Amino acid sequence: MDYKEWQDFDRIWTGEGDLGMRLHNIYNSLREKHDYVVLIGTDSPQLEPELITSAVKKLHEQPKSCVIGPALDGGFYLFAAKVPITEQIWTKVNYSQSATLEELSSNLAAHGITIQLLPSKGDVDTTGDLKPLLNSLIANNGLLPAQKKLQRWLQSQTEIINPERRLA
């Protein structure tokens, strides 16, 4: 929160606790101030603005639902909603597991909250995820300037992206 790089941005402390508790804290904090909340994973830099717009549109069409972007590894890269979500829904999930989205969806459904899904996308959890990230950036013709910069940087990192090409 105190890093100089963040000082020009609005910031909200996520609070203490595990990921479930922090998601609960930030979701409720934002929901108190806004009509709806969109949480986006910081490990999905390839997301297109249109995807976020689509999530918001889905919320307007079905306000008592939530919109989730499934990650290819079983988690999620985006969560959007405007309905109350209890602490228990967030905290009874094993995060960073192949069944994370399944558990979250089950918890939401058990509380009568319907789910709308976005297209599945990758996220970056290990260096092995960087090559698929680069490929998704290359395939996207509408990159934002920061995404283009990331693409150029990834292309310069051949030893990380293609470890099989390392010189002996």
pLDDT at 10: 82
Measured CA distances, 162 to 137, 157, 168 (Å) = 16, 8, 14
- For residues 124 and 45, the answer to whether their CB atoms sit within 8 Å is yes
Q: Which of 60-69, 80-89, 126-135, 154-163 shows the lowest mean pLDDT across its residues?
A: 154-163
pTM summary value: 0.88
pLDDT at 164: 66
- For residues 43 and 125, the answer to whether their CB atoms sit within 8 Å is yes
DSSP-derived secondary structure letter, 15: -
pLDDT tens across 39-50, in order? Answer: 998 899 999 999
DSSP-derived secondary structure letter, 35: S
pLDDT tens across 108-156, in order? Answer: 999 999 999 999 999 998 888 999 999 999 999 899 999 999 999 999 9
Q: What's the topology of domain 4-117? A: Spore Coat Polysaccharide Biosynthesis Protein SpsA; Chain A (3.90.550)
CB count within 10 Å of CB 51 equals: 17
Structural domain boundaries in the chain:
4-117, 127-165
- For residues 93 and 103, the answer to whether their CB atoms sit within 8 Å is yes
Q: Which two tokens stand for residue 102?
A: 């399944």
Q: Which of 45-54, 61-70, 90-99, 154-163 shows the lowest mean pLDDT across its residues?
A: 154-163
Q: Give the integer Cα–Cα distance in Å for 159 and 111.
A: 47
- For residues 93 and 104, the answer to whether their CB atoms sit within 8 Å is yes
CB count within 10 Å of CB 154 equals: 19
pLDDT at 5: 79
- For residues 45 and 150, the answer to whether their CB atoms sit within 8 Å is yes
Q: Which two tokens stand for residue 3?
A: 């890093």
User: Mean pLDDT in the chain?
Assistant: 92
